Amino acid sequence: MLKENFAALLLRVVRIIVQIGILTIFYYMGVGIVSYLHIPLPGSVIGLLLLALSLIFKIIKVEYIQDGASFLIGILTLFFIPATVGVIDYPELMSMTGLLIILAVIASTLISIYITGLLTQIIEKKELAKKENAETTVEEGKGELSVD
């Protein structure tokens, strides 16, 4: 039993590492495209767009990156610590300019949350309507048998 639990845990850890590797490959593909084409966007944004397109066109399945992405989201706050500590090096950010920057960040965050909520509600309504439509179709065809 202990060996089975250890084997399952080890398999999960390896799966997460491989999935983070897949996400890293997309990041480096974006960096490569930016450096080759001299696009004025960060490589991480291009890599994220490549990943999104790959998911949309079903080149890769969500299951291939789900555990790794969930792990990274779980430790996401750790990535903000260096940026927060770096603010100490710039005391001018604590002046009026800094206050304006903080207000802009707060406003853009609130707008982003609001728009994300609206889009989520729209998508949820469409999915619910699609699900209800599929159930209605199944119920209408109930009892019928056709042979092709």
Answer yes or no: are the C-beta atoms of 50 and 28 closer than 8 Å.
no
Q: What are phi and psi of 84, to 5 degrees?
A: -65, -45
Question: Which CA distances in Å does 67 have to 24, 32, 78, 100?
Answer: 14, 26, 18, 38
pTM for the whole thing?
0.61
Task: Spell out the per-residue pLDDT of the chain, length 148, in tens.
Answer: 778 888 889 999 999 999 999 999 999 999 999 999 999 999 999 999 999 999 999 999 999 999 999 999 999 888 878 877 777 777 766 677 778 888 998 999 999 999 999 999 999 998 898 888 887 776 665 555 555 5
CA nearest to 71, candidates 18, 6, 8, 5: 18
Answer yes or no: are the C-beta atoms of 16 and 67 closer than 8 Å.
yes
Give the whole-angstrom CA distance, residue 17 versus residue 32.
22
